[in-house]
Chains A and B, each alone.
Chain A
Amino acid sequence: MIGVLKSELFKLRTTRATIIVATCSVLLPAIIFGLTSLFAFTNGEVGDSLASMVGNFAPLTGLLLGVVGVLCSTQEYSQGTIRITLVATPNRLKVFIAKLLTTFIVSVVSAWTMLLLCLLPSALILSFRDAEFVTIGSDIRILFSVVILSAFLSVLGLSLGLVFKSSPGAISALLLWPTILEGMVFGLLSVASGRNMMKFSPVQGNGFRLIAQYTDESNTWLVSLTYFSAFVAVFAVLGAVLFTRRDA
């Protein structure tokens, strides 16, 4: 198992596409946050904690790491290496678990790196600008939520990749479902039922809510986490079943 895991990690770090997307998931928020720290807050007051503001980048980082997850599975099919992978390791469940752990590890490391690259330089910049700010304060939950959301979205990406077996299909599903389709579907359901159905939407209403402040109408953090985990788990199981049963 260790050998397969090492091999999957090696595969990820020797393909340019995954390196570029993973780097973007870390650097884009860091650059934007750094520029914000440099040029915003001209009155010297930072309203929220830095952690809370960094949390707003979690969907961006998470979705980009989801794309890394997609590439981890679909590149095998597009490049034909899936045949060699399965010939080298005939136990497909072992390959699936190795891919799952790999994307999970990469996304957790990337998310923590993103948080560090956002918080440390910004704290330094704001200090030099004599701004009043709180780095984390009572928002440590948000930092962990960013990491959890990123890891789960990357697992969702991997699973969608195994279901679709092609990058365009899986990436479209990964990006369009939470950003457009989910809002439309649950928005219509809300109109039809006269109730707030958005809190049942798996990604927007629960996954993205992990990093948000709560209102009376939203689910609690634990309920959102359970709901979102179950949604990701369904796709992970579907991906695993298809991967282990389909002809390669």
Chain B
Amino acid sequence: MIVVENLTKSYGSKKAVDNLSFSVTPGRVTGFLGPNGSGKSTTMRCMLGLDKPDAGVATFDGRKYADIESPLKHVGSLLDAGDAHKGRTARNHLRWIAMTNGIGASRVDAVLQMVGMQDAARTRVGKFSLGMRQRLGLAVALLGDPKVVILDEPANGLDPEGIRWTRDVMRHLANEGRSVLVSSHQLVELSLVADDLIVIGQGKLISSGPIGNFMTQHAKTWVRVVSPQFDALAALVTAQGGTVERTPDGGDFHAVSAITVGNIAAANNIVLHELSPQTGSLEEAFLDATDASVEYRGQSTTTNVWDAPQP
């Protein structure tokens, strides 16, 4: 179990992480979300002792990372897929890491096989695509068969098969009772695998808990209805306080529940072809939750900046 308590880290006058507290439970995949510059990577680096926090502490099963003997056997991490010497082969890259924690060469070959890189074991890292480097980074994280896995953007640069494979790996690791903390910008992917979410903005905690709770709090919900008597139903629902948005084959009701709409239809003998509660995507919920804390915002494609003369 990972516990982060009151973690604070500043670079000069800028507070990258501000009194952040959360926990990651074993047996669950925990997504770590936040806009660019929100402090996700800094938090991970502080957790692993790479950066020294100004205040607060991160513990793994009650121990600070620096106090863990052979830490790779307890905590596996992937921070940046580019962290490998370009002139070294994949196998040699894993071997020097394994040596530091007394991990045998047979485990190196095993993880290379696990990530599907046994054929590229003797190829120099400089010749790898980004996707292959991600797989090698995952191999590093899994090298010590750790109980805790921390992954920063593990699906970055992977093809669809690779993304699906990464998702399956995370699910498999959690099902084995390991704690998995994963930061990702691929929200659709994360929504498919994460059990819990930690959302931060400008270094502060915005939300923490099961993904369902986050969606309930931040995702829009509405009721989709398809009916040959839609106008009549719309009038009745509007009278009950709902709002209507027409679509080509029916419409969406907002501010009312599906039960209410169903009851109104039944009471008035209105035929329904579809009555389904709808929930917005994780992406919409994330944007809603972090809107106030976005630090770097691009220009809208509808503004004039995109129409500027070409050089």
Q: Does B84 contact A (CB under 8 A)?
A: yes
Q: A83-B79, A84-B83 are in contact. Are A11 and B48 (CB under 8 A)?
A: no
Q: Does A7 contact B (CB under 8 A)?
A: yes
Q: Hey, which chain A residues are within 8 Å of B82, CB to CB?
A: 80
Query: Are the C-beta atoms of A4 and B100 separated by less than 8 Å?
Result: yes
Give CA–CA (A75, B84) in the complex, Å.
Answer: 10
CB interface residues, B 72-120, toward A, < 8 Å: 72, 77, 79-80, 82-89, 92, 95-97, 99-102
Of the candidates B80, B88, B99, the one whose C-beta lies within 8 Å of that of A80 is B80
Q: Does B259 contact A (CB under 8 A)?
A: no
Nearest Cβ on chain A to B104's Cβ, whole angstroms: 11
Q: Does A81 contact B (CB under 8 A)?
A: yes
Q: Hey, which chain A residues are within 8 Å of B222, CB to CB?
A: none
Q: A84-B140, A91-B66 are in contact. Are A7 and B86 (CB under 8 A)?
A: no
Nearest Cβ on chain A to B14's Cβ, whole angstroms: 14
Give CA–CA (A86, B65) in the complex, Å.
Answer: 11
Q: A7-B97, A90-B66 are in contact. Are A83 and B85 (CB under 8 A)?
A: no
Of the candidates B51, B83, B85, B100, the one whose C-beta lies within 8 Å of that of A89 is B100
Residue on A with the closest CB to B75? A87
Of the candidates B49, B52, B68, B84, the one whose C-beta lies within 8 Å of that of A81 is B84
Residue on B with the closest CB to A86? B50
Query: Are the C-beta atoms of A88 and B51 separated by less than 8 Å?
Result: no
Of the candidates B45, B65, B79, B96, the one whose C-beta lies within 8 Å of that of A14 is B96
Among A14, A16, A89, chain B packs the most CB atoms within 10 A around the CB of: A14
Q: Hey, which chain B residues are within 8 Å of A91, CB to CB?
A: 66
Query: Are the C-beta atoms of A90 and B99 separated by less than 8 Å?
Result: no
Residue on B with the closest CB to A6? B99
Nearest Cβ on chain B to A107's Cβ, whole angstroms: 20
Give CA–CA (A197, B72) in the complex, Å.
Answer: 53
Of the candidates A4, A15, A245, the one whose C-beta lies within 8 Å of that of B88 is A15
Binding site of A, secondary structure by majority: helix, strand, loop or mixed?
A: helix
Query: Are the C-beta atoms of A88 and B100 separated by less than 8 Å?
Result: yes
Q: Which residues of A come within 8 Å of B, CB atoms?
A: 3-4, 6-7, 10-11, 14-17, 75, 79-81, 83-91, 245, 247-248
Among A7, A11, A88, A91, chain B packs the most CB atoms within 10 A around the CB of: A88
Residue on A with the closest CB to B9? A247
Query: Are the C-beta atoms of A90 and B71 separated by less than 8 Å?
Result: yes
Residue on A with the closest CB to B137? A84
Query: Are the C-beta atoms of A10 and B48 separated by less than 8 Å?
Result: no
Query: Are the C-beta atoms of B97 and A83 separated by less than 8 Å?
Result: no
Q: Hey, which chain A residues are within 8 Å of B140, CB to CB?
A: 84
Nearest Cβ on chain A to B304's Cβ, whole angstroms: 40
Number of B residues with CB within 8 Å of any CB on chain A = 31
Give CA–CA (A28, B72) in the complex, Å.
Answer: 42
Query: Are the C-beta atoms of A15 and B85 separated by less than 8 Å?
Result: yes
Of the candidates A3, A75, A86, A87, the one whose C-beta lies within 8 Å of that of B85 is A75
| CB-based closest 9 A-B pairs | A80-B83, A7-B99, A88-B100, A90-B66, A248-B50, A247-B51, A79-B85, A7-B100, A14-B92
CB interface residues, B 28-86, toward A, < 8 Å: 45, 48-52, 65-66, 68, 71-72, 77, 79-80, 82-86
Query: Are the C-beta atoms of A88 and B101 separated by less than 8 Å?
Result: yes
Q: Hey, which chain A residues are within 8 Å of B86, CB to CB?
A: 79
Nearest Cβ on chain B to A247's Cβ, whole angstroms: 4
Of the candidates A7, A15, A89, A247, the one whose C-beta lies within 8 Å of that of B52 is A247
Q: Hey, which chain A residues are within 8 Å of B65, CB to CB?
A: 90
Give CA–CA (A91, B85) in the complex, Å.
Answer: 22
Nearest Cβ on chain A to B137's Cβ, whole angstroms: 9
Give CA–CA (A39, B302) in the complex, Å.
Answer: 79
Residue on B with the closest CB to A5? B99
Give CA–CA (A92, B99) in the complex, Å.
Answer: 16
Give CA–CA (A81, B140) in the complex, Å.
Answer: 12
Q: Hey, which chain A residues are within 8 Å of B49, CB to CB?
A: 86-87, 90
Q: Hey, which chain A residues are within 8 Å of B87, CB to CB?
A: 14-17
Give CA–CA (A89, B101) in the complex, Å.
Answer: 8
Give CA–CA (A14, B100) in the complex, Å.
Answer: 16
Residue on B with the closest CB to A85? B100
Give CA–CA (A4, B70) in the complex, Å.
Answer: 11
Query: Are the C-beta atoms of A7 and B85 separated by less than 8 Å?
Result: no
Q: Hey, which chain A residues are within 8 Å of B92, CB to CB?
A: 10, 14
Q: A79-B86, A247-B51 are in contact. Are A84 and B102 (CB under 8 A)?
A: no
Query: Are the C-beta atoms of B102 and A3 separated by less than 8 Å?
Result: yes
Residue on B with the closest CB to A79? B85
Nearest Cβ on chain A to B95's Cβ, whole angstroms: 7
Give CA–CA (A127, B60) in the complex, Å.
Answer: 69
Among B50, B68, B92, B99, chain A packs the most CB atoms within 10 A around the CB of: B99
Nearest Cβ on chain B to A41's Cβ, whole angstroms: 42
Nearest Cβ on chain B to A99's Cβ, whole angstroms: 12
Of the candidates A3, A80, A90, the one whose C-beta lies within 8 Å of that of B84 is A80
Residue on A with the closest CB to B68? A90
Residue on A with the closest CB to B49? A90
Give CA–CA (A83, B48) in the complex, Å.
Answer: 10
Query: Are the C-beta atoms of B50 and A87 separated by less than 8 Å?
Result: yes
